[in-house]
Amino acid sequence: MTLDRANKFGLFTEQFTQNPYPTYEKLREGDPVHAVRFPDGQNGWMVTRYKDAEEVLKDPRFIKDMSKIYGDSMDMLSVFTQNMLFSDPPDHKRLRGLAQKAFTPKMISGMRGRIQEITDELLTEMEDRDQIDLIDEFAFPLPIIVICEILGVPSADRDKFRLWSNSMIEGTSGELGATVYQHMNEFVQYLGQWFATVREQPGDDLISSLIQAEEEGDHLSERELYGVVTLLIIAGHETTVNLIGNTVLSLLENPEQRKLLEQQPELINQAIEESLRFNGPVEFSTSRWAGEDFEFQGREMKKGDLVVVSLNSANHDPNKFVEPELFDIKREKSPHLAFGKGIHMCLGAPLARLEGEIAIASLLTHFPQMKLAVESSELKWRPGMIVRGVKELPLLLQ
């Protein structure tokens, strides 16, 4: 592949991170399957148009199991990739089936009352405050409490998970440094101790179910156990943290849409879907590799080539969405790719949607006067190649 060594599109700069959408427009029009060096030093392809993105996400020639490319590494990073997100059939079906137990429509629907209860408790704690950081005090605690309860993890440890999760995700913005490896090691040690405790005293939580399945010969290896649990903890709250933050920001930056939602609260489902499309919480798909040599959209893919989809670029493709740069909560049903597509579509999407709907509706009801405490241009976006969200979102509540 011929790399854009000069990076004429300005990818992965601070300016790009603050607002990538003008760059995505140029890429879709001029170089939609773009050869690029990613922040971690790897060379690969970035796919930006909707139709191409959809094809990559569904085409089995683009594989997810990195061991087929790099061999069965035993390094620290591999501990976190033995799950359905980084596997191909038939392993994918088996691993996803085990984790699916906690995310059936019936179970998600049954959690509505508990999610509302947690939401109300968090909002009540803020009622006497003039200013808050929405991310730190609401958008992060809500989903981490929920996923901890599903998994059976003490919610007292949620700040540790935030540190570990942030470190691993922001580590995708460049080479993995000593701090990231330290946090990975701490996380693995924590999980090992936790698994030992659960083996002695299993409960009715998901982790107990996974460990019992492992011990009953359901083909779940120790490394797969680590991988599945890591995915559920990180993906189980990171997506929702940024969904809540990005939705609130979009509503505050588009006051006519906020007013419309306040007047017609029944639009909350559509508002969440539009937020997922407009400024989705997951910037890029996780890695895929060409499993063989073949041509794709005029590019010669070689076996082992890294391919990443820009989900947010695809969701702004004018060939798929009318006026994509417009935040419109009355937009018709959206075929956005915020949660992916195909067999790797996000397992926790229904939970994230439910948490987002409850969080946003309740927040607007509790604090109808809320507004940004700083200019939008002052907000800092999180680095990394996976999530899209602000580090802090300071709000005036009164």
> Does the reported pTM lie above 0.85?
yes
What is the per-residue pLDDT for 6?
44
- Give the span between the Cα atoms of 170 and 394, in whole angstroms: 21
What is the per-residue pLDDT for 90?
86
Which residues of the chain are modeled with pLDDT < 70?
Answer: 1-7, 72-80, 170-177, 214-219
Would you tell me how many other CB atoms lie within 10 Å of the CB of residue 98? 21
Q: Chain centroid to CA 284: how far? A: 9
What is the per-residue pLDDT for 225?
84
What is the per-residue pLDDT for 32?
97
Torsion of CA 2, 6, 7, 8, to 10 degrees: -110
